[in-house]
Structure 1
């Protein structure tokens, strides 16, 4: 199982922060702090959203000498590259693959973009680019790009304020945690900033999928004294504590995130460059060995997850030569992660003094944990004491089955 523990992070994941960052200083902290009674009269715990793989917008700028096809653009200012359905139509998707893929240098032991491609996260600290990963209006009507939107909106309707008690921590999810040092530093700054402007109220991290693994590693590096001061609780949704076989599927045959628009074989060309199936796989594996850390987070933890979805990949069965499409053997879980991995947080129940809670939801899919009323009510109950979602005037998901699955 160890080979899959960080597989999702490697296959299209983790993080390097953008140059754009919240202006913590230059008087902003003092100005916001003075508005405490206006913006947080109920003294709610400030929230920081930690997305999973594919869970925040990314932009790219092009200045390329070579492209795979004559119709691919060589020069373009920053544009939405993830999630942008228009980049994934047949033919154009070859341009997208060339722009998104990474290469690995076994001398510097780092990944790098295709020459002439730069990436950035449009927001640091804000929540909008985590609420809607895709902002195409027609697509939004069908919830294709809705991510943290329903949780965020439910909290705002009950007294939270974006940019004051609601924050987000996006990252370049293609990269491994060994290239995340700057992100962890900035997350510490953001946590302390939110704590200070809210009159020293502990932070709640709300994490989806691999975002739970990100916050776990972050907390493992922080002194217990710091955690006791700044962290109130961690709420995770659909976190693969023990990895996911779907990661193996992605690098074997490609994974389309559940969207019919995206071709598996095209996604594989990007996903395999973030992980194995490369000559440098062993070296990349060595780079991540330090991140196989299973010590307790040292903070109150709420693990929410779905089960009995019916199409969870439990294992892959290859032929003897390992050179064909494997048979996908289904098992129990949330459609993306099997149950054995989802309940892994229970491993720490006797390993820390802080409480660990587990809540299982029957039939709720991996991604739908972000929009279903039951887990949203659990979240707002822990933060505002309310249990009334959705109210009559609140927009709810058009369908319990979203059109895309993000890690």
Structure 2
């Protein structure tokens, strides 16, 4: 190896990130979790009027307490439903907490705020390239809320989008001005997608190097209808009283984002009763049939306009999803109607999200001039398998490293050190 080659190797090694020296020439990573995948704190004020004394007494003397997830595991389901429920104000056209309940998302920007991401965060940190708060960040959010289309207020959603924008800019600033790689899962994908559309194109191209979507169902999913009908998916135990589950599920703004969208699902029958069949094109009739008429206005004015089309975000995207897992796609209710337990018809997907929704973005964005898209299908990987399945974890880390530049840097180093 001649002198010039030795100098080149030395210079490259000085610029490459190594264990104990994070960041280097890599692009920072910002993680956006899915529903229920970060902590929520709460504080009860004198304005809180619990339905039972036990609901207020448990936290007496505490300023802030962990509402989710620890409190969810130990609390009376009725109390938890009261404290976590939202209220839609049709006059203000926005959602807010129940009276007397204050909430906050702790540890914003830190990966320690996440729930269920431990293995993925650890794998990234073990590469020696990423460190929490320096080159690796998280953008947790109050998953009960979403955002609204132009012309409709969304105080919590606007606040989150502003924080997310500042975090991405800060991550770039701390890492030599390099654009960030944003990694999102499930509901976090939908939020990230709408966030990108809401930012100026120049901002996207300046601050976002690539987006990695994990299980991005941008067309909703079939079980979203069943959740509203039965109260499933509220986060409460299955044996919790049905009224508490229904109250919590239906009050959350994010519940309406779970509904299958007409653009993606069309006239596919999703819910079938003795007298009616409901598809994504008949959501209003469905909401009325289950007795959730107060959900009609926010659905029509605040949800439908945001999902009438899927324009490309015009930043590079890697979309990763599982297939080949039995996934609910139709719910058939018997003589007891929505009071009974439906028969479930299964189809393809990741166990939660239907394939037709998972591939919606791929279908819409493929071939669009200027839109870079990479698709990674993982047979047999379930909706949360990205954080538990070893092979899926390795693939996710590899895709993130490739997006952040570390794979290319390591290959260059190996070529210099070991080529003949």
TM range, normalised to the smaller chain?
A: 0.7 to 0.9
Counting only pairs closer than 5 Å after superposition, residues 99-138 of structure 1 correspond to structure 2 as: 99-130=83-114, 133=115
Provide the C-alpha distance between the structure 1 equivalents of 2:371 and 2:76, rounded to a whole number of angstroms: 50
Q: Kindly tell me: are residues 62 and 41 of structure 1, through their superposed partners in 2, closer, same or farther at Cα, counting changes over 3 Å?
A: closer
Q: Partner of 2:136 in structure 1?
A: 166
Q: 1:96 aligns with which of 80, 84, 87?
A: 80
Q: Larger helix proportion, structure 1 or 2?
A: 2
1:272 equivalent in alignment to 2:258: no
Provide the C-alpha distance between the structure 2 equivalents of 1:304 and 1:51, rounded to a whole number of angstroms: 15
Is the 8 Å Cα contact of residues 109 and 138 (structure 2) preserved in structure 1?
Answer: yes
Counting only pairs closer than 5 Å after superposition, residues 222-233 of structure 1 correspond to structure 2 as: 222-233=199-210
Q: Kindly tell me: are residues 300 and 328 of structure 1, through their superposed partners in 2, closer, same or farther at Cα, counting changes over 3 Å?
A: same
1:354 equivalent in alignment to 2:354: no
> After superposition, what is the alpha-carbon deviation per residue over 1:100-158, rounded to whole angstroms, capped at 9, x for unaligned?
1112111001122221110001111111011xx3xxxxxxxxxxxxx111111111111
> After superposition, what is the alpha-carbon deviation per residue over 1:248-278, rounded to whole angstroms, capped at 9, x for unaligned?
1211112247986663834332011124553
Is the 8 Å Cα contact of residues 212 and 400 (structure 2) preserved in structure 1?
Answer: no
Is the 8 Å Cα contact of residues 296 and 352 (structure 1) preserved in structure 2?
Answer: no
Q: Partner of 1:155 in structure 2?
A: 124
Is the 8 Å Cα contact of residues 52 and 207 (structure 1) preserved in structure 2?
Answer: yes
1:365 equivalent in alignment to 2:382: yes
What secondary structure, in the 3-state scheme, does the structure 2 residue paired with 1:280 have? helix
Provide the C-alpha distance between the structure 2 equivalents of 1:52 and 1:163, rounded to a whole number of angstroms: 20
Q: Which runs of 5+ in 1 are unaligned?
A: 1-35, 134-146, 388-407
Q: Kindly tell me: are residues 304 and 108 of structure 1, through their superposed partners in 2, closer, same or farther at Cα, counting changes over 3 Å?
A: same
Is the 8 Å Cα contact of residues 204 and 233 (structure 1) preserved in structure 2?
Answer: yes
Which structure is larger by alpha-carbon Rg, 1 or 2? Answer: 2
Q: Partner of 1:209 in structure 2?
A: 186
Is the 8 Å Cα contact of residues 315 and 328 (structure 1) preserved in structure 2?
Answer: yes
Deviation for aligned residue 1:338? 0.9
TM-score normalised by the chain length of structure 1 = 0.76
Counting only pairs closer than 5 Å after superposition, residues 372-391 of structure 1 correspond to structure 2 as: 372-384=389-401
Q: 1:297 aligns with which of 303, 308, 313?
A: 313
Is the 8 Å Cα contact of residues 31 and 139 (structure 2) preserved in structure 1?
Answer: yes
Provide the C-alpha distance between the structure 2 equivalents of 1:214 and 1:128, rounded to a whole number of angstroms: 20
1:345 equivalent in alignment to 2:361: yes
Deviation for aligned residue 1:52? 1.0
Q: Kindly tell me: are residues 250 and 63 of structure 1, through their superposed partners in 2, closer, same or farther at Cα, counting changes over 3 Å?
A: same
Is the 8 Å Cα contact of residues 60 and 118 (structure 1) preserved in structure 2?
Answer: yes
Q: Which runs of 5+ in 2 are unaligned?
A: 1-16, 149-153, 257-286, 408-420
Q: Partner of 2:230 in structure 1?
A: 253
Provide the C-alpha distance between the structure 2 equivalents of 1:224 and 1:104, rounded to a whole number of angstroms: 32
Deviation for aligned residue 1:168? 0.8
Provide the C-alpha distance between the structure 1 equivalents of 2:355 and 2:235, rounded to a whole number of angstroms: 19
Is the 8 Å Cα contact of residues 23 and 135 (structure 2) preserved in structure 1?
Answer: no
Provide the C-alpha distance between the structure 2 equivalents of 1:249 and 1:192, rounded to a whole number of angstroms: 39
Provide the C-alpha distance between the structure 1 equivalents of 2:378 and 2:353, rounded to a whole number of angstroms: 14
What secondary structure, in the 3-state scheme, does the structure 2 residue paired with 1:329 have? strand
Deviation for aligned residue 1:359? 1.4
Q: Partner of 1:20 in structure 2?
A: none
Q: Partner of 2:176 in structure 1?
A: 199
Q: Partner of 1:56 in structure 2?
A: 38
The number of residue pairs the alignment matches comes to 334
RMSD across aligned positions (CA): 2.5
Q: Kindly tell me: are residues 374 and 189 of structure 1, through their superposed partners in 2, closer, same or farther at Cα, counting changes over 3 Å?
A: same
TM-score normalised by the chain length of structure 2 = 0.73
Deviation for aligned residue 1:224? 2.3
